[in-house]
Structure 1
Amino acid sequence: MRLSSYTADRFLLLLLSLTLVLPFFNFARYSPAPDWWTNSVVVMLLVPVLLLALWRDVAADESYSIAVPRLLPLAGLWWCFVFLPVALRRDGGIYSLALSESLAVLLALVAASLLFQLQNRLGRPQLLITLAAVMLGGGLLQALIGIAQLLQVAPLADGWLVYHQPVPFIMGNVAQRNQFAHVLTWGVLAAVYLWLGQHLRSWLAWPAIGLLALVMAWSGGRLPLAYAGAMLLVAVAWYWRSRDRRLFWGLLSAALLILLMQWGGGWLAKVLTGQSIGSGWDRLGDAGFGARRRIEWQKAWLMISAYPWFGVGLGDYAYHSTWLEAFGGLPKLPESALFTHSHNLIMQLLAETGIPATLLAAGTVSLCLLPFLQKQHANRENAFLLLLAATILGHSMFEYPLWYLPFLLAFLFVLALSPLPPVTVAVRASLRRLGLSVLLLGCLLYLIFGIPGFFTVIKVQQPSRNPAENQQRIEDLLRLSRNPFWAYEAELTLANYLRPSPQDLEIKLQHYEQLARYRPYPMLLCHLAMLRAWHQQPQAAREAMIMAIAAYPEALPVMLQTLTVRSESEIAPLKQLVLQAQQAYRQGGGLAAVQSVASRSLGRPLP
C-alpha cells in the first residue's frame, strides 16, 4: 500500500502536534535527570517526523528553491552568534549546556520550518484545528491526573502518575504547578478556538473549559491570573479591529471562568475532599510577592554589568548566583536551593549571552510577533496563536519554560506561523536530504546511547556495601561520562563514590572543582572546601565554605557532621566557620546563619 503525500502530511502534523503534549506525561522523574524523558520523548517523536520529511522531500522532488519562515534565517544567525563561539572557545567547563541547548534549538527550528511547510500544503485552518484538538486532549488528560492527585488516588497507579505525599500537590504529570497551569491554559485556548469555528459544540466546550479552569485553580499557580488578563486584552483588541462578537464573548467568558475558579475553586475542593487548597489568587502575596525572584534579578544585573558583551557564559548562571549570594552584598532571603536561572527570560539571556545576542533575539521575536497585531491579520487563527505566545512569554518573565523542549517548540511554532511573508532560500535537494539524514541519525544515536545512560545513573545513585559491586559501578559511570550528554550526571553520581580525603588529592580536587563550577550544590561545596584545604589553599577553601553556608543554611547540620569526623589541622578553620554559623542559626534561624558569613557589600569583581 503506497502512502499518499496527503496522508503523510496529516501524519506529520499529528506527530508535530504531539510534541507539545505527550512529553508532559513523563512519569520517570528520577534524580539526577528528572526531565530527561520530557525532552527525549520530543526527540522520539521527531524521529518519524524527520523520516517522513525525508520521504516527502524525495517523493515531491521539490525545486532548487524552497520557502522557509522568516524566523529561520534570523534565528539561525542568533544560533551561530551564541553557540559557535562557545564551541570554539571551549572554556565554559566540561558540563557546559551549550551542546544540549544548541542541538535542541536546532531541532526545534527544523521542526518549526516543517510545520510552516505543512501550513502551505494543508492550509492554516486545518493545521491549527489539529494543533488545538491535540492540545485540548492533552490538557484534559492532565486535568484528570490533577483530580486523581487531589483525591489522593494517584499513588494507586503503580508509578504511572506523579504524586506528592503526605500533602497532595496538584501538578499533573507535568510535576510543576506553573508548568501544569500553563498546559491547562493551552487547553482552554484550544477549546475556545475549536468552539469559535464550531468544531466543538458548546455543551462539550464550556464544561471542558470550566474543568480546566477549576483544576488550574487547584494547582495554586499565580500565572493563570496573568493569562486571563491576556485573554481579556486580546478579546478587546480583536473586537476593536475586526468586530468579531463570537471571539470577544468566547475569550471574555473563558477569562471570567478562570477568575471565577480562582475565587471559588478552593471552596469546591473543600466540599469534595475536606482539604483546603489555595488557588493562585490566595497565594498572590506569598513569599513577599516574588521577593526571591527580585534578588535573582539583581544578581543577573550584576552579571550583565560585569560582562555586558558576551555574558558569564551559557550554563554559568548557577555558580555566579551562588557566589553573589555569599559575596554580593544583596538582600538575604535564604531558601537553601540552587538557582540555575534568574527566573526571567530577558535577564537570563543578558546575563549568560550578553547584550548583543539578547537584542538579536528580542528583535527576531518582535519582528515575528508584531504582524499578529496588524488590523489586516486580526482573525481567529492569529488570536489563538498570539495567546499561545503570550502565555509562554508571560510565563518566561517569572520562570524558564523555554528551557524545556516542548515549550520551546510551541514558541517557535508560533513564530514560524507569523503572518510575515516567507523567505525563498536556494538549497540543493541533495543538501536538504543530507541535513535531514544527519539530524535523523543524531536523534537515533542520542536515544540509543541515552536510554541506557538514564537507567545507569538512576540505579547507582548511592554506593552499595559490596566493594566489588561499587568498583563495577565506578567503571560504568566512567564509561558513561564519555558521553557528552551524560557527562555531568555521570560524574555527579561518581562523586558519591569519591569521598573527600587527602589521598589522590589532585584527581579529586579537579573532579569537584568542575562539578561545583557548574552546579554548586551544598555538599559539593563543602567537599570542595575540604579538598582545597588539604591542597594548601586556605583562602579558597574558606570561600567555598562561605558559599555553601550562605546559599544553603538548612544544610549546616550535614556539613558539620561531615567536618567533625576529620581531625586534620587544615579542616579546623572550616569546622570553626560552620560552628559559628550553626550557633547563629540556633539563635536567629537561617537568615542569621547567612548573615554571620556573607559579605555586606560587593567588595570585589565577579569571578
Structure 2
Amino acid sequence: MSDSPQSVFKLSLLPLWVGLALTMALPFLSLIRTGPQSAFFLEAMSLLGVLVWFTATAAAGKLKSAPPAATWWLLLLAVFWAAQARLMKLDYVGLSDMVAWTFVVLAFGVWTCRAWVRDAGQERAAAVLAWVLVAACCLQAAVGWLQYTGHAAHFKPWLMYRAGIVEGQLGQRNHFGHYLMWGALAAAYLWTARRMAWWGALAVWCWLGGAMALTGSRSVLAYFIALAVLALLWRLWAGAAAKRAVRIVALALAVLAVLQFALEPLLQLFGSGSVESAAERLGNHSFGQSGRDYESRKAWQIFQTAPWFGHGWGSYALQGFLADPAVYAKGFRQYDQNVLFTHSHNGVLNLLAEMGAVGTGLVFGGLAWCVRTAFVRKNAASLFLLAAMSVSLVHSLLEYPLWYVYFLTAFTVFVGMMPAPQRETRALAAGWFWAAVAAAIIVIFGIVRLGVAYNDLRHAASGSRDAVAKSEKIVKLLYLARTEPMWRYYAHMNLLNHVDTAADHLPAWAQEARLSAHYRPYANAHKWALLAYRAGEREAAADWLRQMYRYYPTKYPVYGAALMTPPHYAGLRAQFSAECRAYYAAVRQTPVCAEAMPPKPQGKP
C-alpha cells in the first residue's frame, strides 16, 4: 500500500480503470437526452457505473475494510432528504426519494474509492483517475473543436451541435469549461508524480486550454483565481515539500490564462473566425441587477422565512415565484421573462432556502470532516483532489453543476480518493460484505426498473393528434402518476398539457394534475389559477394570477386569451385588465390588454 510510484497499467487495477471510466468519462461523453426529464438516462448511467464498480471491486477481493466516514455522511444525507419530505408533507415526496437514493448509491461509491486507496495506495489510485480524466477531457475538447469548425454538424445525432456555441457533449459552455479544467489539473498531477513528461502535460494544457477559450466560459476566470489562492495556501501549509506540485499547478494556470487571450489572434492569423473570450463576455455583463443577482437576493429572503429546515427539496421554484414582487426594481421581473428559475444559481443559498441551516450544515460540515485527511497527508495527490473539488465548489456559487448527478458522482469520487486515516482499518465482516453486495445488486435492479417506467412515461408524454392514441396516453399518465411516486410530478405535468381550461366540462383528473403547476410554476401555470377558480377557490386564483403577471409580464397576451375568450372566468377579467394596463404604463409601451368581454345579446326563446 506504499505511495511510491508504481505502474498503473496492471491487470490487477483493471476494475479501477473500468470503474473510473464508467463514472468519470462515459456520462460526460454521452449524448442521451430525452424528455420530459432529459438527463435521466445520463444520470442513471452514472449511478449504475458506481454500483457496477462497487460489485466488481467486491468480486476482485478489494473490499476488505469497513465503510469510511464519507459513506456514513452520505447515508445521513439520504435519511435527511427522505425524512424532510415526509415531515413537511411535500407535494412530490418521490422527487426527494430520488435524491435520497442517489446519496445511497454515492455512499457505495466513496466506499469503493477508499477500498482502492487502501489496496493500491492513494498516489496510484489518483494517477489512474488522472489518466482517465486526461483521456476523456481530450476527447471532450475534440468535440469542442469540431463544434467550432462546424464539422460536428456532420456527426449529428452522435455529437451535440448548435451553431455559434462550443459546449462539448455537455450542453452548456460552463459545464464544458468545468470538465476540461479537471483534465488540466489531472495533467498537472501526472507531471508532478512523474507519470507524464513535461511536454505531454504542456500539450494537454494547450489542447484543453484552447477549447476552453473557444467556449468563452466566464466561470473559467473564477477557477483561475480560486486555484491560485489554493496553490498559495497549500505552499504555506505544506512547506517546501509542496514546492514542485505548486509550481506545476501555477504553470498550468499561466498557460491556460494566456490561451484565454491569445487564441483569437492565433486563429485570425490562420484565417479562422473570431472568438468571444471569457474576459470579453465578463466585460459585457455585470452581476448587479442581473437574473443571478435577483435570484440570490430572493434565496436569502426565502431562507430567512424558514431558517432551520428550509422549505423542502425542490421548493425554490415555487418560493422564488411567490417572493414579494417588491424585490424587483419596478415590481415585476425584468430578466429572463419567459423562464422559470428552479434554482437560485448559487448552490449554498439554494441549500439554505430548501434545506435550511441544518441541512446545509450537514452537507458542508460532513464534507469538511471527510476531506480533513488531505491536510494531514499533504501530498500532490491531495492537492490535485482538493483543486478539482474547488472547481466544482466555485462553479456552484454561480450555477448548480452538482445538481447534475454525473457531476455530483465525480465530486464524491474526489472525496473518496482522499487519504485513508490510519485508524480506519477495521476489517469488514463476511456478513456485512455479502449484505452490502446484495444491497448494491438490489439497487441496480431498482434503477433499471425505474428506467423502464421512465421509458413508459416518455412515450406517454409524446404528442399525438389521433384522438384514440391521445386518450391512451392520458390513461397511461394517470396510471404512472398513481403507481410511480418518483415520476408522479412528470406525469402530472404532462397531464396538465391535456387540460383545456376553456372547455365547459373538465375531466375529473384536471384538479389532480394542477398540482404540478404549483410545484414548478412554469409560464403555463396560469392553468392552476383557472382550475382553482373553477373549483370555487376564487381568492386563491386571483392571488396566483397576480404573481403570474409579475413573474411573466410578457405573457399578458397569452393570459388575456385564456381569461377573456371563455365565459367561465368573468370574475378575473377586471383584475387582468388593471394589472395589464399598469404594466404597459410602467414600461411605456402601447397596451395590448383585452378588456372585459361585453355581455352576449339575449336571444329569443
TM-score by length of 1: 0.86
Gaps of 5+ in 1: 1-5, 594-607
Question: Is 2:16 aligned against 1:15?
Answer: no
After TM superposition, list the pairs within 5 Å mapping 1:6-155 onto structure 2.
7=11, 10-56=14-60, 66-80=65-79, 82-89=80-87, 91-94=89-92, 97-155=95-153
Q: 1:282 to 1:492 in 2, by over 3 A?
A: same
Q: Partner of 2:541 in structure 1?
A: 541
After TM superposition, list the pairs within 5 Å mapping 1:317-396 onto structure 2.
317-324=316-323, 326=325, 332-336=333-337, 337-373=339-375, 377-396=377-396
Once the two structures are superposed, residues 161-186 of structure 1 have per-residue CA deviations (whole angstroms, 9 ceiling, x without a partner) of: 11224xx2111011111111000001
Deviation of residue 451 (structure 1)? Answer: 4.4
Work out whether residues 95 and 487 of structure 1, in 8 Å CA contact, stay in contact via their aligned partners in 2: no
Once the two structures are superposed, residues 471-523 of structure 1 have per-residue CA deviations (whole angstroms, 9 ceiling, x without a partner) of: 122123223332223222222122222222452366312321x1022211011
Q: Partner of 1:601 in structure 2?
A: none
Deviation of residue 572 (structure 1)? Answer: 2.5
Query: What letter is aligned with 1:504?
Result: L
Q: 1:281 aligns to what SS in structure 2?
A: helix
Work out whether residues 51 and 109 of structure 2, in 8 Å CA contact, stay in contact via their aligned partners in 1: no
After TM superposition, list the pairs within 5 Å mapping 1:92-491 onto structure 2.
92-94=90-92, 97-165=95-163, 168-240=164-236, 241-270=239-268, 275-289=273-287, 291-324=290-323, 326=325, 332-336=333-337, 337-373=339-375, 377-419=377-419, 421=421, 423=424, 428-451=429-452, 453-454=454-455, 456-457=457-458, 460-462=461-463, 464-481=464-481, 482-491=483-492
Work out whether residues 130 and 186 of structure 2, in 8 Å CA contact, stay in contact via their aligned partners in 1: yes
Work out whether residues 493 and 517 of structure 2, in 8 Å CA contact, stay in contact via their aligned partners in 1: no
Work out whether residues 457 and 489 of structure 1, in 8 Å CA contact, stay in contact via their aligned partners in 2: no
Taking the aligned partners of 1:199 and 1:495, their CA distance within structure 2 comes to 57
Choose 288-297 or 400-409, whichever is displaced more.
288-297
Deviation of residue 24 (structure 1)? Answer: 1.5
Taking the aligned partners of 1:298 and 1:388, their CA distance within structure 2 comes to 28
Deviation of residue 127 (structure 1)? Answer: 0.7
Work out whether residues 55 and 440 of structure 2, in 8 Å CA contact, stay in contact via their aligned partners in 1: no
Q: 1:587 aligns to what SS in structure 2?
A: coil
Q: 1:574 to 1:499 in 2, by over 3 A?
A: farther
Deviation of residue 457 (structure 1)? Answer: 1.8
Deviation of residue 330 (structure 1)? Answer: 6.7
Q: 1:343 aligns to what SS in structure 2?
A: coil
Query: What letter is aligned with 2:120?
Result: L
Taking the aligned partners of 2:526 and 2:277, their CA distance within structure 1 comes to 38
Taking the aligned partners of 1:295 and 1:486, their CA distance within structure 2 comes to 31
Q: 2:262 aligns to what SS in structure 1?
A: helix
Q: 1:342 to 1:89 in 2, by over 3 A?
A: same
Work out whether residues 457 and 490 of structure 1, in 8 Å CA contact, stay in contact via their aligned partners in 2: no
Once the two structures are superposed, residues 62-86 of structure 1 have per-residue CA deviations (whole angstroms, 9 ceiling, x without a partner) of: 5xxx343232334433443x22423
Give the share of equivalent positions with the same residue, in percent: 25
Deviation of residue 578 (structure 1)? Answer: 6.4
Work out whether residues 480 and 487 of structure 2, in 8 Å CA contact, stay in contact via their aligned partners in 1: yes
Taking the aligned partners of 1:588 and 1:268, their CA distance within structure 2 comes to 46
Q: Count how many residue pairs are aligned between Structure 1 and Structure 2.
A: 573
Work out whether residues 177 and 215 of structure 2, in 8 Å CA contact, stay in contact via their aligned partners in 1: yes
Query: What letter is aligned with 2:414?
Result: V
Deviation of residue 139 (structure 1)? Answer: 0.8
Work out whether residues 67 and 424 of structure 1, in 8 Å CA contact, stay in contact via their aligned partners in 2: yes
Q: Partner of 1:492 in structure 2?
A: 493
Taking the aligned partners of 2:155 and 2:365, their CA distance within structure 1 comes to 47
Deviation of residue 469 (structure 1)? Answer: 1.1
Taking the aligned partners of 1:75 and 1:301, their CA distance within structure 2 comes to 26
Greater relative contact order: 1 or 2 (C-alpha under 8 angstroms, separation 6 or more)?
Answer: 1
Work out whether residues 78 and 99 of structure 2, in 8 Å CA contact, stay in contact via their aligned partners in 1: no
Taking the aligned partners of 2:271 and 2:44, their CA distance within structure 1 comes to 36
Q: Partner of 2:511 in structure 1?
A: 509
Deviation of residue 553 (structure 1)? Answer: 2.8
Query: What letter is aligned with 1:209?
Result: W
Q: Partner of 1:520 in structure 2?
A: 521
Taking the aligned partners of 2:81 and 2:448, their CA distance within structure 1 comes to 23
Work out whether residues 224 and 258 of structure 1, in 8 Å CA contact, stay in contact via their aligned partners in 2: no
Q: 1:283 aligns to what SS in structure 2?
A: helix
Q: Partner of 2:597 in structure 1?
A: none
Q: 1:288 aligns to what SS in structure 2?
A: coil
Q: 1:44 to 1:420 in 2, by over 3 A?
A: closer
Q: Partner of 2:598 in structure 1?
A: none
Query: What letter is aligned with 1:113?
Result: W
Q: 1:211 to 1:473 in 2, by over 3 A?
A: same
Deviation of residue 221 (structure 1)? Answer: 1.2
Taking the aligned partners of 1:27 and 1:491, their CA distance within structure 2 comes to 27
Query: What letter is aligned with 1:93?
Result: D
Deviation of residue 286 (structure 1)? Answer: 4.3
Choose 109-118 or 405-414, whichever is displaced more.
405-414
Gaps of 5+ in 2: 1-9, 593-605
Query: What letter is aligned with 2:559?
Result: M
Work out whether residues 23 and 37 of structure 1, in 8 Å CA contact, stay in contact via their aligned partners in 2: no
Q: 1:458 to 1:274 in 2, by over 3 A?
A: farther
Taking the aligned partners of 2:103 and 2:530, their CA distance within structure 1 comes to 39
Q: 1:556 to 1:155 in 2, by over 3 A?
A: farther
Choose 337-346 or 472-481, whichever is displaced more.
472-481
Taking the aligned partners of 2:296 and 2:177, their CA distance within structure 1 comes to 24
Q: Partner of 2:5 in structure 1?
A: none
Deviation of residue 40 (structure 1)? Answer: 1.4
Q: Partner of 2:3 in structure 1?
A: none
Once the two structures are superposed, residues 21-42 of structure 1 have per-residue CA deviations (whole angstroms, 9 ceiling, x without a partner) of: 2112232323322211220111
Query: What letter is aligned with 2:37?
Result: A
Work out whether residues 50 and 440 of structure 1, in 8 Å CA contact, stay in contact via their aligned partners in 2: no
Taking the aligned partners of 1:487 and 1:272, their CA distance within structure 2 comes to 54
TM-score by length of 2: 0.87
Q: 1:84 to 1:537 in 2, by over 3 A?
A: closer
Deviation of residue 300 (structure 1)? Answer: 1.6
Taking the aligned partners of 2:512 and 2:474, their CA distance within structure 1 comes to 17
Once the two structures are superposed, residues 243-286 of structure 1 have per-residue CA deviations (whole angstroms, 9 ceiling, x without a partner) of: 55432332122111221122223334555675433222111144
Taking the aligned partners of 2:131 and 2:261, their CA distance within structure 1 comes to 28
Taking the aligned partners of 1:194 and 1:226, their CA distance within structure 2 comes to 24
Deviation of residue 195 (structure 1)? Answer: 1.8
